């Protein structure tokens, strides 16, 4: 693959969306072969439809393995339609969430177990993995308070989970970051937004100078 696949991960309330919204235009100005910003679940027509089913708070009866399979299905479609063509064209892809989200939320949060989640995702991604992952770390209390304060519409099905659920998600992320320090770059997301964006920008541009 010619391009550079970057993912951004973090628990709810880490500020991923705000960070990407500031980081992306800065990277766009200097990316030699272009950069594509996308997100999961969603990022393509079929994948966005699956997103609506997964996040709809009315879908109370959803089985947790169904949920995990839907995330993997949405990921597959998004990978084929959006991520792979951009990487093949030599672009940088910056994706809001990927397999690590499923490992943390479904594997640990829902307690399905990371090995089971890895298996279904291996089927979905066929070996395509991010080269670099920015992990925005925030404790669950701070994260959940931020979501409460910033919420515009109703909470989605994942946000309404308990504090314990969100703590399991965060611990799983910390474990993943500890196990793979080369790929996963941890940033303290309790810092002011501009500091988080600066730290993220520096980490990416210093790791891959050939793309900028």
Closest CA to 178 of 75, 68, 100: 100
Minimum distance, C-beta of residue 150 to ligand TYD, in the bound complex (Å): 10
CB 34 within 8 A of CB 3: no
The only residue of 158, 187, 196, 204 in contact with ligand TYD, by rule CB under 6 A: 158
The only residue of 4, 5, 12, 200 in contact with ligand TYD, by rule CB under 6 A: 12
CB 40 within 8 A of CB 133: no
The reply to whether 7 sits near ligand TYD by the rule CB under 6 A is no
143 is in an annotated binding site: no
Name which of 92 and 158 has its Cβ closer to ligand TYD. 158
Of the candidate spans 81-89, 153-161, 171-179, 184-192, the one that interacts with ligand TYD by CB under 6 A turns out to be 153-161
186 is in an annotated binding site: no
Residues 6+ apart with CB under 8 A from 37: 20, 24, 94, 96
| Residue list 33-92, contact with ligand TYD (CB under 6 A) | 40-41, 55, 71
3-state secondary structure 95-131: EECCHHHHHHHHHHHCCCCHHHHHHHHHHHHCCCCCC
Q: Which residue has the tokens 């969603």?
A: 42
Distance of CA 125 to the CA centre of its chain: 15
SS3 at position 57: coil
Residues 171-200, mask of contacts with ligand TYD (x by CB under 6 A): ------------------------------
34 is in an annotated binding site: no
The reply to whether 124 sits near ligand TYD by the rule CB under 6 A is no
The only residue of 102, 140, 167, 200 in contact with ligand TYD, by rule CB under 6 A: 102
Half-sphere exposure at residue 23, Cβ-oriented, CA atoms within 13 angstroms: 30
The reply to whether 101 sits near ligand TYD by the rule CB under 6 A is yes
Q: Which residues are known binding-site members for ATP?
A: 10-17
- List contacts with ligand TYD (CB under 6 A): 12, 16-17, 40-41, 55, 71, 96-97, 101-102, 105-106, 156, 158-159
């Amino acid at each position: 693959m010619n391009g550079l696949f970057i993912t951004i991960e973090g628990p709810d309330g880490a500020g991923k969306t705000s960070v990407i919204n500031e980081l992306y235009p800065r990277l766009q100005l200097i990316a030699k072969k272009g950069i594509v910003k996308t997100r999961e679940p969603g990022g393509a027509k079929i994948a966005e439809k699956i997103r609506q089913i997964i996040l709809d708070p009315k879908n109370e009866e959803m089985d947790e393995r169904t949920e995990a399979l839907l995330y993997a299905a949405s990921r597959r479609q998004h990978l084929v339609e959006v991520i792979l063509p951009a990487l093949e064209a030599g672009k940088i892809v910056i994706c809001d969430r990927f397999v690590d989200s499923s490992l943390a939320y479904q594997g640990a949060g829902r307690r399905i177990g990371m090995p089971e989640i890895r298996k279904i995702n291996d089927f979905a991604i066929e070996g395509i993995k991010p080269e670099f992952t920015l992990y925005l770390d925030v404790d669950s209390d701070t994260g959940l308070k931020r979501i409460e304060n910033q919420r515009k519409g109703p909470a989605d099905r994942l946000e309404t989970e308990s504090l314990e659920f969100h703590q399991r998600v965060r611990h799983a992320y910390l474990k993943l970051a500890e196990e793979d320090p080369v790929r996963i770059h941890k940033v303290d997301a309790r810092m002011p937004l501009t500091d988080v964006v600066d730290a993220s920008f520096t980490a990416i541009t210093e790791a891959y100078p050939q793309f900028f």
